[in-house]
Amino acid sequence: MRMSHLYKEILFALLIIMLGYQTPAFAYTKASIKNNTEYTISGQVKYAGGALTFCRPDSYAVGPGQTWQASSNRGACLITEITGQLSGISPSLQASGLSGINERREVTSYTSTGTAYAQFQVNAFGDRYRIFSKSEYSKASDVSEESSPGFRFVNHSAWPIAVSIDQVGCLYYDIVPAKYKGKPGVLKRSTGAVWFTLRAHIQPDGINPQTDWDCIKPVAELVGEVGLAAMSGGSSIPASTARIAAKEVAKAAIKAALRKALKEVLKFGAKELGEYLTATSEIVMPGQFAGYDWPFRCSAMPEYHITDGPIPHIDEDGRYYLEAGKPLTVKKVNTCGNDMMLASTKSETAEDIDINDFFSEPPTTTVVEVPKTPKVSTPRPVTITPPDTVVSPSSPTIIAPPAPVAPPPPPPEPLAPDAPIYQEILRQAVDLYSSGNNDRRAFEKFEYLANQGVPDAQYYLAYMYDYGYGVHENPDEAHHWYDKVHAVLGTRKLSNEVETFALVEFALQNLHGRFYPPNYERAWGWLIRAYDLMDNGQTHYSPQFKSKVADIDHRIRDKLNRY
């Protein structure tokens, strides 16, 4: 005979009472729900014996990225179901000015015959969302690095491409290398199952302008300056991300191609070059999805192919030329995540730009090359002279001077250490270093800038070699770069803040005899100079730095009093 529902409830209530509902030893942990979606989710946590007062359902509501925990005492109540409903607009869509992209918001409830589990989470999966127990979701940890969620970029273009994944700030950002020896550049990143806005543009020097805080719009003038540097020998970046896949063309072919809108890069300024590269390559794709997580993860994460863009050429003298080509295109090539982005764009092409709108050359005098006359002996004309006439020697041949040839353009001036692009990269490097978890990326930027002669970067590079931040400790390299900083002290080439840091560091070196024999008087002299800069009010220094200075001050005074 089947027991009625009420009869089951009564039996369950008696069981709870027998176990000792009020006894802490038999009380289960309060339920918690982590929301890993971009929406607010609300619903109920239902327990077995829900008709009884002490196993009533808990209602919850939790925002994106937040965790809810039940406030009531769960006791010995087993969870049988957790329901959920999404509401609101995702931050990535708000940032893009969209209210929705027709994505599905169904939430699959968690169900059980009765579980003691307490930790739950909400994740995107398949064409909807699902509530998991922590135990269920832990099965997702052992996966292929090629599988979703994440993204894979394949760059078939000739340019390094800066890409960023943007929500409220920059979630992920990097450079996709240009193709090399016929093979495309590839960038892969594993992520959470997130919605995002994809941004991309040409970055000629291969140094990403993004930071942890800003998915910045490319600044045309900066793009132009780094483009001139990268295509004129003004850049010394050895990394593969900085390589431009230019077509090698003979000068003779270049001359012929000049009549076909091929433009020599060095004849134009940073502004024109930057505006052209930015306009013909800037891509924005809102409403993209990184693919599903377990248990409906894709075997291959969403993949985007980058094609076309301006076509760079290089002749045997190392001069760069640009051909218009087609506007840059970014296209999603597989279906992973498509059913979660039904109305989102799967392909985006930059604006179709006429290269002549940016590179209008001034009229020049056409030089016609006269073919060289082959060296063939010409017979002398036969002259009949009357008798007794003296024939004078032949008059010398008069040769016309060759037509003047235009001199080659002078090599480009290297960028000054205080060039705006260097100062922008320096700001990014300092931000990365200050964040405390991006030392390697900060080191790479400081190293590049130090080799360009930027004094502030030379100090930071010396310090990172000295203390092993972002690189293995290397006293020889540290000493080398500290010497360069020594040489510019007091010349106003260092910023006020960095010169103060350097003076304090040199005081510490003379105090401990690092790189130099101990010299307490000299250490005190460095510290006095640092105090002068700190007292001028131009820079605010952190309490930690002031405490460090005070400690060095105390130790130097102690040494001077002893000796």
For the chain, the maximum distance between any two Cα atoms, rounded to a whole number of angstroms, is 157
- What residues does 41 pair with on adjacent strands? 62, 86
Report the half-sphere exposure of 116 (CA within 13 A, side-chain side). 6
One-character DSSP codes across 382-438: P----TTPPPPPPPPPP-PPPPP-PPPPPPPPPPPTT-HHHHHHHHHHHHHHHHSS-
Please report the pLDDT score of residue 416 as a whole number: 84
DSSP 492: T
pTM comes to 0.46
The total of other beta-carbon atoms located within 10 Å of residue 79's CB is 24
Higher pLDDT, 156 or 364: 156
Q: Give pLDDT tens digits for 107-130.
A: 889 988 888 889 999 987 655 688
pLDDT score, position 48: 84
pLDDT score, position 219: 53
- pLDDT of 170 above 80: no
Asked if residue 350 lies in contact with residue 280, where contact means CB atoms within 8 angstroms, the answer is: yes
Tokens coding 289:
């999805």
Query: What is residue 367's predicted lDDT score, i.e. its pLDDT?
Result: 44
If 0-12 CB within 10 Å is exposed, 13-18 middle and 19+ buried, where does residue 379 land? Answer: exposed
Work out whether the CA dihedral 198, 199, 202, 207 comes out positive or negative: negative
Task: Map out the domains of the chain as residue ranges.
Answer: 5-140, 150-357, 420-562
Pairing of strands 185-190, 347-349: unpaired
What's the confidence (pLDDT) of residue 42? 95
pLDDT, tens digit (0-9, with 9 covering 90-100), for 460-514: 999 999 999 988 899 999 999 999 999 999 888 999 999 999 999 999 999 999 8
Structural fold of domain 420-562? 1.25.40
Nearest residue to 304 via CA among 252, 347, 244: 347
* CB contact at 8 A, 498 and 462: no
Is a pLDDT exceeding 80 seen at residue 145? no
Q: At residue 216, does pLDDT exceed 70?
A: no
Please tell me which residue, 288 or 222, carries the higher pLDDT value. Answer: 288
Joined together, the tokens standing for residue 550 give: 């005070």
Q: Using alpha carbons, select from 96, 99, 223, 226 the residue that is nearest to residue 165.
A: 96
What pLDDT, on a 0 to 100 scale, did the predictor assign at position 156? Answer: 93
CA angle in degrees (0–180, nearest 5) for 322-324-328? 110
Residue 165 has pLDDT above 90, yes or no: no
**φ and ψ of 186, to 5 deg:** -130, 140
Q: pLDDT digits over 18-72, tens only?
A: 444 444 455 788 999 999 888 899 999 998 876 556 788 999 999 988 999 998 7
Average pLDDT score, the chain: 76
